[in-house]
Structure 1
Amino acid sequence: MVERVRRQHVVSRFYLNGFASDTGRVRRVSLPGESEHVLSTGDAAVIKDFYTITLPDGTQSDVFEKVFGEIEGPASEALRKLLSGTWPITGDHRVALATWIALQHLRAEDVRASQGSMNAQFIRLIVGTAGKEALRELIEGAESRDIPDAELDHEWEDITKPGGPDLVPDVKQHIGILMDLLPRMAAYLHDCHWTVFRFNRRSIVTSDHPVNLVPGDDHPEWSGVGIATAELFLIPLSRRAALTIQPHDRFPSLPPGLEKVPDFQHDGTTQVADSINQETVLGARKYVHHHPEDSPLGRLHLPDPDRSIEPSMSDASDLIREKGLFSDMTDEQREAWGRMSPASGERRGVSIKDLPWPIPGRRQVDKM
């Protein structure tokens, strides 16, 4: 039986139409700008089976692609009103647009990759602090065999390497996180301050990750930027418009009698267009999209594609020891570590003994 290939949009097609020609075509530039192609908006931002899940009976379902479509319909109408001149966007249209912006951010490849990176680093920490002999016991207990030293060395090196073991992206986990965070992020964005910029001549670009989380000037360089820590959210809306969304607590003070800053609308300048485009390009993963007749990238820095996704976690290399972190500790020191470690809180008591073997989702590692 031939499996059906599901080509699923990671960027909404209705949205990409705002950057397309009258015939529905956009120019896709591959980072760092070495190749480009003009193609339809239906082909510009699709990934095979990106949302497809396997049901308990073994069948595959693209139900979430349909669920997302129910969000995109009202958002498409709201975006049309905004681009046609309506401002501010209020009521159901604001709800619809905020929900779509949250969806577009949460379904991004970077969110899935970041979650996978966190899982891998947690596994690395659990195994690395337990030590090589504890790993031997785990494998031998699960596989009911003696493991040769060379094979153990190979497994240890792969699991405890920087970044942890290579894991296959977990679709169900990503969808679970998306559905959990979507209503809260949408409500958060809905209640923020919105500013739309409209451009008469300057061209705006978008990318495969069009919702950009911009950190503040005082944001630590070592820390990742998230929904709650972003200074503002930047979303190119079309070839001639862009939107910024800024939390009200980012405004230091308000005039007397004003409870919150009202939404603004500005005519965009060349400087603003360049700034928006540069942020958009830096937030891209692989591709930048723009109108086929425009040439807006000449003054911009184009980064390398697929830059590593590092969650906001400190490096745990000092804790990775073949003999185990606790080999030289007293019982009191072990107890103190247990209270401070990432295994505390919701994961309190998690140890290498709780790690399933083989590690779920781990990419195939050749046996030695």
Structure 2
Amino acid sequence: MTTVKLKKHQHVVPRSYLRGWADSDDHVAVLDRGSSVPHRFSVSNSAVRKRFYNFADANGAESDVVEDWLDEHIESPVGATLKALRAGASLDDVDRATVTNFMAAQMVRTPTMFAFMAHIDVHLGAMFTLMEAAKRGGFDLLTLSDADRDRYLSIARDAWAAQLDERDTRASKLRTMVRKLDEVATQVTSWHWSILTSPVPVLISGDSPVATLKPTGYHWTGLIPEGSSLWMPLSPTLLLAADPVKPLRQQTVLTNELASFVNSTLARQADRALFNAPDLYWPTGLTMPTQKPTLPEPTVTWGKSTGLPTFPATYPPVTSTAIEALLKELGGVDTVE
């Protein structure tokens, strides 16, 4: 009987991406949250999490099919593209789809985004648990005082937490991740893409490497805030930019102001680490908060709905056939009751 060896140590930031900051020994400088001194690590040992993309399949066995899928469809295709762009190629010289899919993946596959999904699940799960209990018990939540609703919601939160199965929640997060990957990649494909260049090294990166306007920790307005561009460093001197509308004037120069904004945004939204080239100075004034990024506590407004019922709900169809196949392996369904 053949035993399948699972991939246990998995990169949340691909090695081909980190090599934009690596020295000749394939090492990068890593600044961990809570530390003021960066350390030198090999690319192979940086941005690694244990079993991060693994889940329990329908038979209860651990599966690393998502890790394999990311390698085949996202990481391997973009390796040559990143190398070419860093060597001076333009976006017209490379396969644009690999760039689009890679940036979309680096927005949704991060530990920061998984923490946000867990935060949302806790609040929505408790709300749905309370509403289902009210429906079955035949009482109207709107007749309760604010204090009583808050008390019942606290009880519902404990009940929701008690019945959670990490195996189910892990697969659920992975399904959300790949659905959002498809959604974002489809959304930004028609955007205006460009490479901005600095004559001197000014950019770092992190384990959540795509920056947007209204950065994490200030206001949560969705994965891509309305009207925001996307920025992802490719090396200390190259910044990949995606704009929802074509700028009035073609920009090719990376300004110090934009580099500073991107660096500070990546520092705020990093889960654990920032990355730089070992022989480069870190940006002046860069600070990495001691606390990990979190979503603000939601404001709950109670009222009687006059629209259509929320459930059953149908997921929008996915564009990518590869993602559709992966969703089936993750136990995805089209309709939620």
Structures share a fold, TM > 0.5? Answer: yes
CA deviations 1:12-49 (Å, max 9, x no partner) are: 11100111111111111112443432111111111111
2:276 matches 1:290: yes
**TM-score, with structure 2 as normaliser:** 0.74
Aligned mates of 1:44, 1:280 — CA distance in 2:
16
Aligned mates of 1:158, 1:7 — CA distance in 2:
37
CA deviations 1:98-156 (Å, max 9, x no partner) are: 1111111111122222222222112222345678xx6998xxxxxxxxxxxxxxxx997
- Corresponding residue SS for 1:234: strand
Aligned mates of 1:130, 1:67 — CA distance in 2:
37
Aligned mates of 2:116, 2:152 — CA distance in 1:
23
Q: What displacement does 1:307 show?
A: 2.4
Aligned mates of 2:156, 2:281 — CA distance in 1:
45
* Residue 226 of structure 2: aligned partner: 229
Count of residue pairs brought into register by the alignment? 292
Deviates more, 1:22-31 or 1:6-15: 22-31
* Residue 143 of structure 1: aligned partner: none
Residues 1-368 of structure 1: matches in 2 within 5 Å? 6-70=8-72, 71-87=74-90, 89-90=91-92, 93-128=95-130, 157=154, 159-160=156-157, 165=161, 168=166, 170-215=169-214, 222-227=219-224, 229=226, 231-248=228-245, 264-266=251-253, 268-310=254-296, 314-316=298-300, 337-339=304-306, 344-346=309-311
| Closer/same/farther in 2, CA of residues 299 and 53 from structure 1, 3 Å limit | same
Aligned mates of 2:105, 2:285 — CA distance in 1:
31
What amino acid is the match of 1:51?
A: Y
User: Is the CA contact 1:212–1:233 (under 8 Å) kept in the aligned structure 2?
Assistant: yes
User: Is the CA contact 1:50–1:171 (under 8 Å) kept in the aligned structure 2?
Assistant: no
CA deviations 1:300-340 (Å, max 9, x no partner) are: 23222322234xx8412x75xxxxxxxxxxxxxxxx71436
Provide the alpha-carbon RMSD of the alignment: 3.4
Listed as ranges, the gaps of 5+ residues in structure 1 are 138-153, 255-260, 320-335, 349-368
Aligned mates of 2:271, 2:89 — CA distance in 1:
32
User: Is the CA contact 2:208–2:271 (under 8 Å) kept in the aligned structure 1?
Assistant: yes
- Corresponding residue SS for 2:31: strand
Q: What displacement does 1:11 show?
A: 0.5
CA deviations 1:177-224 (Å, max 9, x no partner) are: 2322323322322211223222232331000100122239xxxx6542
Q: What displacement does 1:347 show?
A: 5.0
Deviates more, 1:204-213 or 1:173-182: 173-182
User: Is the CA contact 2:194–2:252 (under 8 Å) kept in the aligned structure 1?
Assistant: yes
| Closer/same/farther in 2, CA of residues 120 and 347 from structure 1, 3 Å limit | farther
| Closer/same/farther in 2, CA of residues 215 and 6 from structure 1, 3 Å limit | same
User: Is the CA contact 2:27–2:43 (under 8 Å) kept in the aligned structure 1?
Assistant: yes
Aligned mates of 1:34, 1:240 — CA distance in 2:
24
**TM-score, with structure 1 as normaliser:** 0.68
User: Is the CA contact 1:113–1:309 (under 8 Å) kept in the aligned structure 2?
Assistant: no
- Corresponding residue SS for 2:38: strand
What amino acid is the match of 2:245?
A: H
Aligned mates of 2:293, 2:220 — CA distance in 1:
16
Report the structure number with the largest CA radius of gyration: 1
User: Is the CA contact 1:51–1:64 (under 8 Å) kept in the aligned structure 2?
Assistant: yes
Aligned mates of 1:346, 1:206 — CA distance in 2:
41
- Corresponding residue SS for 1:248: coil
